[in-house]
A and B are shown apart, each in its own frame.
Chain A
Amino acid sequence: EPEVTQTPSHQVTQMGQEVILRCVPISNHLYFYWYRQILGQKVEFLVSFYNNEISEKSEIFDDQFSVERPDGSNFTLKIRSTKLEDSAMYFCASGTGSIGELFFGEGSRLTVL
């Protein structure tokens, strides 16, 4: 069964460092997303991406965040200068249409020290 894969599974970084989280969405999907989940809290939407551009972003997704689809398979989330409060599980998701089932990856845990 096709799945969304994410790397790394866990990254520890120092505050102020740049981090890139990588995702390989399911191959025939056209809509891509990043969500995050701070420990013990609900899953929060960050950004959606379609047709090589951001289609929607939340207030969390400030100028420190960026997304990119550098080739036909990868979808990345970059945090330019990490803060302690960026520590969370980051989930990538993909879907075939503008509505409907989203498939989530297993997540990348980011720990900022």
Chain B
Amino acid sequence: GENVGLHLPTLSVQEGDNSIINCAYSNSASDYFIWYKQESGKGPQFIIDIRSNMDKRQGQRVTVLLNKTVKHLSLQIAATQPGDSAVYFCAEEDTGRRALTFGSGTRLQVQP
């Protein structure tokens, strides 16, 4: 796959546990944030998004938290499954320019 993990932080969890993946962003003008999942050899897959006027958003088994004060974003995955194993990227966008800036990714390994 594309993310051979040369310097990727890795989070290893047991199946059924909750996972928390963190991301720091740099652009205080960013007003839209997205989490993507990338499995080996595939393109990024949208998981969940959040706009800057919110601090929490929930999806199916996933929750995104946004702390604009410290420019921090997190993705919580409940009851992690082996199929959740992938590299997770946060991405930010300043809607003044329609272009996503991706973070460097975190590899999630789910142990059965």
Q: Check if A107 is an interface residue, CB within 8 A of chain B.
A: yes
The answer to whether A37 and B2 have CB atoms under 8 Å apart is: yes
Interface contacts beyond A42-B89, A45-B101, A102-B100: sample of 17 additional A-B pairs, CB < 8 Å, sorted by A: A35-B100, A40-B2, A40-B3, A40-B6, A40-B7, A42-B102, A42-B103, A42-B105, A43-B91, A45-B100, A45-B102, A56-B99, A89-B2, A91-B44, A98-B95, A104-B45, A106-B41
* Residues of B in contact, count (CB < 8 Å): 29
Chain B residues within CB distance 8 Å of chain A: 2-7, 32, 34, 36, 41-46, 49, 89, 91, 93, 95, 97-105
Distance in Å: Cβ of B77 to nearest Cβ of chain A: 18
The 8 Å CB contact of B46, one of A44, A102, A105, is A102
From known contacts A39-B2, A58-B99, infer whether A99 and B93 are also in contact, taking CB-CB under 8 Å. Answer: yes
The 8 Å CB contact of A55, one of B32, B44, B98, B102, is B98
Q: Complex: how many Å from CA A100 to CA B43? A: 17
Q: Check if A31 is an interface residue, CB within 8 A of chain B.
A: yes
The answer to whether A104 and B102 have CB atoms under 8 Å apart is: no
| A-B Cβ contacts below 8 A, count | 66
The answer to whether B32 and A107 have CB atoms under 8 Å apart is: no
- For chain A residues 86-102, which have a beta carbon within 8 Å of chain B? 89, 91, 93, 98-102
Distance in Å: Cβ of A103 to nearest Cβ of chain B: 7
Distance in Å: Cβ of A2 to nearest Cβ of chain B: 13
Q: Complex: how many Å from CA A31 to CA B102? A: 18
Neighbouring A residues of B2 by C-beta, 8 Å: 37, 39-40, 89, 107
The answer to whether A100 and B49 have CB atoms under 8 Å apart is: yes
29 A-B pairs with CB atoms under 8 Å apart are A35-B100, A40-B2, A40-B4, A40-B7, A42-B102, A42-B104, A43-B89, A43-B102, A45-B100, A48-B99, A50-B98, A56-B98, A58-B99, A89-B2, A91-B44, A98-B95, A99-B32, A99-B95, A99-B98, A101-B46, A104-B36, A104-B43, A104-B44, A104-B45, A106-B41, A106-B42, A107-B2, A107-B42, A107-B43
